[in-house]
Amino acid sequence: MTQLPNIVILGDYERALRRFSQWDKLDQEAKLTIYHEPLRDEALYQVVKDADAIAIVRDRSPFNEAMIARLPKLKFLMFTGERNGTLDAAALVSRNIPMGCTPGGPSKETTAELTWALILGASKNLIKQNRLISNGGWRDELSLLPMLSGERLGIMGLGAIGSRVARVAKAFGMEVVVWSPRMTPERAASENATSVSLNELLSTSKIITMHLVAGPGTKGIISADQLALMRSDAILVNTSRSALINMSDLLKALKAGRPGQAAVDVFDVEPLPNNDPLRNTPNLLVTPHLGFIAEPIFEIFSKGITETLEAWIDQRAIPHPFKP
């Protein structure tokens, strides 16, 4: 009797994958195991050491070169979305292990929406106002709120998400300035924005929002020196990748009052540990990585996983091969 391939799916934290596609073929033709809680290091190794194929939901299960070297049985790996920042793809290429991915779905749209939810929530102090109401209070004499209209929005990265954020800013009557490592005046002008230096963006913007890809040139791009440039009433927003910001420096800067606030959806370790000070910093608005958490996206992820793994089992062409 032919042994069934051992397939491990990692990171279905939302328990959403089985809701959106048909799994009968995989259940019948593979030994299929789905893990929900994020796993790392030795705990991750123990569940994948005998896997023939691995499917990863987002960046929740880091596979570095050392981990991949410990998986001699691995024949195929896939992930959801179009990139994975915690996967050493070169280590897989060196072993001739093919990779697949899924379409990303409307994650750019949902991330732009969340960016503005954080900007508005922080600038209007909505958490504080809601708590005041919940505790039986009403507005106090210190509840005068700032306006965004007429203020400067600084966008770091003017790709698909940054461009959407810029268009909303214009609708609010904000001035938009942009910076990225390869920004040009012409690219900025195409979104009715102005290209400026990074130092000018940081020192003059009321709102600074980050939409860069975390790579060798951008990891840790915001640390103590950059934070010290920001206005005392500035709000720093990150819905991209936590690696863009030195988070320990951010905590110190918030305590020092420059910037005045931050709003963050992404973290170095997720879920955020219970005792992490980021959970209870007064001038920090945090959300549990909601940028891509939307039903249409997980429907695409689920169907992408089943279609890809079925093709791999049948030795057909992978629908969305990944080539780094």
**Is 307 among the residues known to form the active site?**
no
Instruction: Please identify which of the residues 60, 164, 211, 241 carries the catalytic annotation.
Output: 241
Residue 208's alpha-carbon distances to 92, 228, 255, in angstroms, are 37, 13, 18
pLDDT given for residue 142 in this prediction = 65
In tens, the pLDDT along 166-224 reads 999 999 999 999 999 999 999 999 999 999 999 999 999 999 999 998 888 999 999 99
| CATH code of the domain in which 217 resides | 3.40.50.720
Check whether residue 26 and residue 142 sit in a common domain: no
pLDDT given for residue 83 in this prediction = 87
Give residue 192's domain range: 107-286
In tens, the pLDDT along 90-140 reads 999 999 999 999 999 999 999 999 999 999 999 999 998 899 899 999 887
**Is 320 among the residues known to form the active site?**
no
Instruction: Please identify which of the residues 109, 270, 299, 307 carries the catalytic annotation.
Output: 270
The count of structural domains within the chain is 2
**Is 310 among the residues known to form the active site?**
no
Residue type for position 196: V
Check whether residue 227 and residue 122 sit in a common domain: yes
Check whether residue 300 and residue 209 sit in a common domain: no
pLDDT given for residue 2 in this prediction = 72
Percentages of the chain per state (helix, strand, coil), in multiples of 5: 35, 15, 45
Check whether residue 118 and residue 193 sit in a common domain: yes
pLDDT given for residue 324 in this prediction = 85
Check whether residue 171 and residue 278 sit in a common domain: yes
Check whether residue 233 and residue 142 sit in a common domain: yes
Check whether residue 207 and residue 61 sit in a common domain: no
The mean predicted confidence, pLDDT, of the chain is 95
pLDDT given for residue 139 in this prediction = 82
Residue 103's alpha-carbon distances to 79, 252, 286, 289, 299, in angstroms, are 10, 38, 27, 19, 11
- φ, ψ of residue 209 to 5 degrees: the values are -125, 135
With a cut of 60, say whether residue 30 has pLDDT above it: yes
Arithmetic mean of pLDDT, 237-266: 97
Instruction: Please identify which of the residues 152, 175, 289, 310 carries the catalytic annotation.
Output: 289
Check whether residue 66 and residue 128 sit in a common domain: no
Question: Quick one: what percent of the chain has pLDDT higher than 70?
Answer: 99
